[in-house]
Amino acid sequence: MLKILALQQSIIASFPKFETLEKLLVQQSIINILLLGTGLILFLVMFYVKIVSFSEKEYRASGIAFIFSTVFFAPFLFLYLYDFPYKDIISVSLLAIVYLSIILLFIPIRPKIKGGFQVPKEKHDERNVMFSRNELKPGTKQFDLYYSNNADKKYLDDKFREKPGLLSPDSSMYHPFSFASAHANLEVIEALKPIVNGPVAEQEINVEASKISNYLKTWSKKLGVYSVGITELKDYHLYSHKGRGDLYGEEISNKQKYAIAITIEMDNEMMQTAPKGSVVMESTQQYLSSGTIALQLAYFIRNLGYSARAHIDGNYELICPLVARDAGLGEIGRMGLLMTPKLGPRVRIAVITTDIPLVIDKRKDFSSVIDFCGICKKCADVCPSSSISFNNREEITGVLRWKINSEACFTYWCTSGTDCGRCMAVCPYAHPNNYMHNFIRWGINNSYIFRRFALYMDDLFYGRKPKSRNFPSWIDM
């Protein structure tokens, strides 16, 4: 009897040990599930990056993603399969590092960027734009008058006049098919210039601002526009004087109330060949496409009885990137171009000014673009003419901005024969518009820390100075 009682007490005394053992087994099971689950998720994420990168012909990025998928999964699988001293401590530490890193990357840290939204205090004279200066012919009255007033620009401009010129057969990037295609695009654009403005229908049709705004946006998207926005036309949007064509030197006066900005995507595969001939072919094609749609919208508005003018390549009265920025389509970046949220600078812009009643779009906060451009400098690294500044923004005409060396840039254009596009091709914002890149863009917009991580990963996956791709096979001769 005494033996039985002793055995019962022994069994009862052992219950806490069983309970502790059970808890340990549960904890180990949870850790193992987390190890295997986390490893699989990281593997699948990197394998997805590999597949997407391969489909984009980014073979370096695809290879690195494949290596990462293996490297990330291996330690988690090892810890899951094998037991050894301090395994639990190592497992928990690894999991903690992974999840704390993820939390740190995605915490919405958005410090205020110096400068904020700023309005230029002075108008820009179109006669000072490189395209206008390029059209000046030596020996003409306009040529002599311009350089008598701007003697400092004469030496710089003589340099690009010594070069073969844009789309010249003697230029370094000459390619018969792509150059001939670009010429064709420009000749059609030239034919469209006289019809940017026109007569207005005598009968004015009453329209509701919200409905006509929605109609114009929806229709333009169906016509092929990537993004569209509406803003109030501001005085600083306009050039002070015309710099091109028959109206050279005339003061610009546009009293229309609204401006509609549209952007058209430039094909990523074509732009990745920069600065080869397919870039100028694609660039001029989308100048033509954006201009044609702008003309359609302007004709439509005039048919309703309201004034409307299309501002297309070679026939602007205003600065398109400024209008597009104020219409909520993006922000002006380091390279001096409009940076859109999902395509970066890989767009062409056209504008329609009008007095038809419209609803103005609220300007969006793109301060994350300014911050990212401040640290990235990839465009400056690859610029063949060293035209893009590595410095911080500086105050120019009362506005903090980056200023490119337009003379050096255009001189390279006249040497290569193309409009280069290297800055657009390597911009991290300019990757294709898909789930993977859009998620990264979301992270860049969301977090100060994520921006720095994203830049490091972009350099790792794509290279700090990516090589230009070859022509698409259907273009190459």
> Using one digit for the tens of pLDDT, what is the confidence trace for 395-430?
887 788 999 999 999 999 999 999 999 999 999 999
The structure's pTM equals: 0.90
Average pLDDT over residues 145-169: 94
Looking at the structure, do residues 272 and 202 belong to the same domain, yes or no? yes
Looking at the structure, do residues 351 and 405 belong to the same domain, yes or no? yes
* 105 inside domain: no
Whole-number Cα distances in Å, 452 to 352, 371, 461? 38, 10, 14
pLDDT number for residue 465: 95
* 327 inside domain: yes
Looking at the structure, do residues 183 and 279 belong to the same domain, yes or no? yes
| % of the chain beyond a pLDDT of 70 | 93
Looking at the structure, do residues 58 and 131 belong to the same domain, yes or no? no
pLDDT number for residue 400: 87
Domain end among 77, 97, 117: 97
Phi-psi region of 280 (alpha: psi -120 to 50; beta: other; left: phi over 0): alpha
* Residue in 175, 167, 193, 432 with CA at minimum distance from that of residue 311: 193
pLDDT number for residue 5: 45
Pinpoint the alpha helices (H) of 227-307. Answer: 268-271, 277-303
* 235 inside domain: yes
* 118 inside domain: no
* 12 inside domain: yes
Burial 37-71 (b: 16+ CB within 10 A, else e): ebbeebbeebbebbebbeebebeebbebbbebbee
Residue-level length of the chain = 477
Looking at the structure, do residues 176 and 272 belong to the same domain, yes or no? yes
Which neighbouring-strand residues pair with 350?
262
* 120 inside domain: no
Q: Among positive and negative, which fits the CA dihedral 74, 78, 80, 84?
A: negative
Looking at the structure, do residues 57 and 190 belong to the same domain, yes or no? no
Looking at the structure, do residues 294 and 241 belong to the same domain, yes or no? yes
**Residue 310 burial (CB count, 10 A):** 29
Report the C-alpha gap between 15 and 11 in whole angstroms: 7
Looking at the structure, do residues 186 and 311 belong to the same domain, yes or no? yes
Is the bond into 466 cis (omega within 30 degrees of 0)?
no
Residue 352 main-chain phi, psi, to 5 deg: -120, 125
* Residue in 239, 226, 457 with CA at minimum distance from that of residue 353: 239
Picking from 82-96, 220-234, 295-309, which range would have the lowest pLDDT averaged per residue?
82-96
Report the C-alpha gap between 265 and 215 in whole angstroms: 21
Is 79 or 456 the better-scoring residue by pLDDT? 456
Residue type, 128: N
* 477 inside domain: no
Looking at the structure, do residues 157 and 222 belong to the same domain, yes or no? yes
* 108 inside domain: no
Looking at the structure, do residues 271 and 361 belong to the same domain, yes or no? yes
Domain coverage including residue 257: 126-462
Looking at the structure, do residues 294 and 219 belong to the same domain, yes or no? yes
Structure tokens at 85: 């001293």
Looking at the structure, do residues 228 and 308 belong to the same domain, yes or no? yes
Which neighbouring-strand residues pair with 311?
351
Structure tokens at 305: 């009885």
DSSP states of 72-97: HHHHHHHHHH---TTHHHHHHHHHHH
Structural domains of the chain, count: 2
* Residue in 382, 380, 385 with CA at minimum distance from that of residue 415: 385
